[in-house]
A and B are shown apart, each in its own frame.
Chain A
């Protein structure tokens, strides 16, 4: 079964993206990604541009509302996602705990919903 790790990162973690790539956080991510790939559990995933670059849109009573920035106003923000192929939620939690963002932000584990996808996409 497939799980999504939703990576919530702290402002410091987003700031590390501007470094020259030798900082511990970036190094940890490089090694984590490699471990996922070499263990054969990595399906896909990508980082997202920082939250302040987001634009959120809502249509209420026919009126368009557009807001600069992310949907949720929280300290940790969605910074990316990873899809993993694993036998169980327990295994997914093991990998989530190893994610560098788990030490400074949070990692939410959600199972993909293939049946819902099937209803929508046929």
Chain B
């Protein structure tokens, strides 16, 4: 086999691993509930593919090949353990499947069930996103740990604990009943959005960890939309993330300098992504059920409109934030609301909104201090602005944001 053929095999394995990972893990674990075993088996199957495919050439259906290999690994592992009583049903189940003379290239897509399992109310909410990233996208614990700023060892342990709970805790792999669905779907959407990075674009703080994962989160939302095409909030979430993603090239100057949204050059925004976001938002609005993500997306849509009109309709943004705060106020949204009020020439009211937030809650919340500093500056309260800038700078993680704020402080 020539070098280029081998390269092709490696590329195919990479592609199949990325596109089919979640589908295969979901299918392998939907009856056994054993995510760890499914992941181990799939890793082994991928390793086998690396040695088997180059001499034999690519199988007709790489996905079916991996599934067969992984299934054998699960059976071998269960046999090896000899924990007969506990594993008997598992073994039987997998045997039955393997007995099929031919593995169909069409196997049911169980990823939706897997997404609901990852965001199950019995699982610590802080682990919803890490579980999704690992089981649906195949990210390793070390990378997930970096994203969430947790020690890799701790993240590994927490993932193992969560999977043990899923296996032994009677958590069902199923689509929730219609009565539970809205709440359960919310948890799934929250987890996907958390992967995207909290408060990505509407405030001054940029989260470098979120940027790293933006594409994966969009991928997850696309999968979810494909599986649940009639849920307005799913379209809303995808629209929101696409709007933010469209601005990625404009977020930094040539010298790496931080550029706030209102000063970004709209010519650098990705028009195809904006158009796609608008299509999803429009689709969502047809349901007549505005929700958190649709409203957040609508705010971003107003910002995107500046590319055409050259203006930002701050009054509209203020209204969207008011609707948002009626649904569920969060620290980020209240801060965003204050920022919008300030831009809509209602600075005094904006300050009152910020002052009403509990001081302990914002003690280490960077965007609050950045907005507060900007606001105090525009109100001519120099001394207080300087102090708020200090806190915003001290809490910033991104050095480009830090430098941007230091410069603004210097111009006071």
Contacts and interface: CB of A to CB of B under 8 A. Distances in A.
Interface of A: 22, 24, 27-28, 30-36, 38-39, 89-90, 93-94, 97-98, 100, 102-104
A35 B149 contact: no
B151 A98 contact: no
A28 B406 contact: yes
A35 B395 contact: yes
Nearest to B390: A31
Interface string B50-79: 000000000000000000000000000000
Given A24-B403, A34-B390, A98 B396 contact: yes
B406 A24 contact: yes
A98 B403 contact: no
A104 B406 CA distance: 17
A98 B150 contact: no
Contact of B395 (A30, A98, A103): A98
A31 B397 contact: no
Contact of B399 (A30, A31, A93, A100): A100
Contact of A39 (B151, B364, B390, B392): B364
Which 5 residue pairs spanning A and B have beta carbons closest together? A35-B394, A31-B393, A31-B394, A103-B399, A32-B394
A32 to B, nearest CB: 4
Contacts of B364: 35, 39, 94
Interface string B383-412: 000000111111111110011001001100
A31 B391 contact: yes
B402 A100 contact: yes
Interface string B357-370: 00000011000000
A87 to B, nearest CB: 12
A35 B389 CA distance: 11
6 contacts: A24-B406, A28-B399, A31-B406, A34-B394, A98-B395, A103-B398
Nearest to A89: B151
Nearest to A29: B394
Nearest to B398: A103
